Amino acid sequence: MALDKAFIKEMETGLKEEKIKLTAQLAEISTNSSRNPGENTASFPNFGDAEDENAAEVTTFSNNLTLERTLETNLRDVDKALASIAAGKYGICKYCHKEIDEKRLRARPASSSCIDCKKKLTLEG
């Protein structure tokens, strides 16, 4: 049973919205490197020069750094999913090449592996 076109279209719309959201979030907390487009650098905030302000800057910066990595990874997954739609290979598990369950895709449209493979990978660490 192949995924139907309407479903794929729905996922594509969701992924594009997700991409816009992720890009906006990334822009808020990081600066895009002109040397490496697609590579972002977390912004270092400037609250002031007092000791507690400096400490708060470091905390915010490290939070930004973590968030930036998460957002970048998510954005990469979304891009991959959009590319697979364009290639007509959306919804195929990258490990076992079987179709990914629609429910799983609906919950996470950027999924690139089926639940079984994901479970196996998690168990293997």
Return residues touching Zn ion (CB under 5 A): 93, 95-96, 114, 117
Q: What does residue 7 show for φ and ψ, rounded to 5 degrees?
A: -65, -45
Least distance in angstroms from the C-beta of 99 to Zn ion: 9
> Smallest Cα–Cα separation from 75: which of 103, 39, 43, 45?
39
Q: Which two tokens stand for residue 76?
A: 């990469």
Pick from 58, 72, 80, 62: which is nearest to 25 by CA?
A: 72
Residues 3, 99 contacting (CB under 8 angstroms): yes
Q: In terms of CB distance, is 56 or 117 closer to Zn ion? A: 117
Shortest distance (Å) from residue 96 CB to Zn ion = 3
Task: Pick between residue 40 and residue 113 the one whose CB is nearest to Zn ion.
Answer: 113
CA distance 48 to 55: 10
State in angstroms the smallest separation of the CB of 93 from Zn ion.
Answer: 3
Nearer to Zn ion (CB atom), residue 3 or residue 117: 117
CB of 83 to Zn ion, least distance (A): 19
Q: Which is nearer to Zn ion, 67 or 117 (CB)?
A: 117
